[in-house]
Structure 1
């Protein structure tokens, strides 16, 4: 199937090859600091180039902060870190308006959210009001103070982290707010070989400090715009729609995938396809990203959860039940 009938010019094979080469070099650069986790790094860059945000939930010491810092070091742009605590105020995140005695007028002082890559460390330790302030900026891409909007600009990626342990004094993210994250993932502990490599370089306290910027902020924006032109066949869109519908009809799921979730899966699949040198999406791209993009959006029935059901297992079952479309002849034309 050709792409001449689409309204928007689609990515060419040559552009796809350039995109994949650049994407791989970016992943490899971050991999110098975050050892043994290429899959997690690829997901993070997919988030960045799809215009979304990432939630990392994992145990302490697995490299969540290192991943965010390595990503920021690779992209030549501004970055910031916000340590979320129970006493953190929304204005500590977004900024505040202060009266200037000399100019006799109020001036807006930007908060740490005004950066290209923002690390929101232990987001579940902040109050719901502060969490909402962050999530609103993530959704809208701007901060409104005293009725005046302030754009955060592009690229804009928030990597939020939370630990699944030590839940005393924390505020769990509501399901509706989890839906704001394009992906939810985990790093996990490194394998034996990566662990040995980390231990042998114990003298280096911060591997991210050795990374050199490899791409400008404007180039990231250009790559994101290019990824949005990847071709998606109607059969693949129907496949995504059927997956979303199946999550809503499953007896063990009380809240299935929303339209926002389905759109997130399509956007991510476009970037994922381009990162592999293709200018079109195939069903395997959808299947590869279904877990990180969709699982955290599902709310399980309490009885099913008590019996051992999990969002990951439920989604895996749905993926096995919904038959993907067959690759059409000429799709690579």
Structure 2
């Protein structure tokens, strides 16, 4: 999103995660002044939420060249390229130093609550494309302000809006009522409180991607150590040759290993797979939950549910803009013009 006539204004980058900070580094490299607005208290706040999870890309693949160029004069040394960082490693050893180099160009505790064209709501056509952007910000101290930008890069990501249980994209009936037994994150089983939540329990894992594979692998390890721990893997589709990813043929070996670990959890009896199950409702049964499918099937009660069905962008703060988005993915249909 840009307004090319206002070259004296900064380019606002929303989000100080890996994409937002890399974008800022590229802008600096091109002689363009960025202003990064991060809603969290530190750079990489969302990444730190999954600090216990290991990436399936190596250090050599997750450091942006422009960012590395900016970091090099500070004496920063890239970790061993062939090793795999955790989210915590990535945040502490790369994102935080990069934010520090960018200095006052990065503001934390600054949540963007609205974006529009100056003096033009989404209905007004006159001179629309020539107007700069106005951005409303809610600061951590609850004060509000408005700034003006020549262009905006939305790198806010999807972490804050996980997809619900419901097979139709809507929350399942009863999902919100049962929220105390439902998690939308990969559990950190090294945390004693989290570990106790799943130890000796029957846990449903809903999802079919790398996050679900990781959760299944974690729970299988816990099951090997603690009898009575069990997982139920719920898939909306059937199991096929591609269900567990590329395995040893995967272009990202660590990702392939996750799929193999999930398969091992099933093969070794630490988890049961339920296929073709699209959840329509969640019912309470004493201290447990019962998942009910659209076709009327009812699963045996579970103690906990981990929902890893993907993440969605939050577009609410962009309502006053005219966005060309793919109707299925809600992602930009084409690249913005060069600034």
More helix by share: 1
Whose RCO is larger (CA < 8 A, sep 6+)? 1
* Superposition TM-score, scaled by structure 2 size: 0.24
Between structure 1 and structure 2, the one with the greater Rg is: 2
* Superposition TM-score, scaled by structure 1 size: 0.25
More strand by share: 2
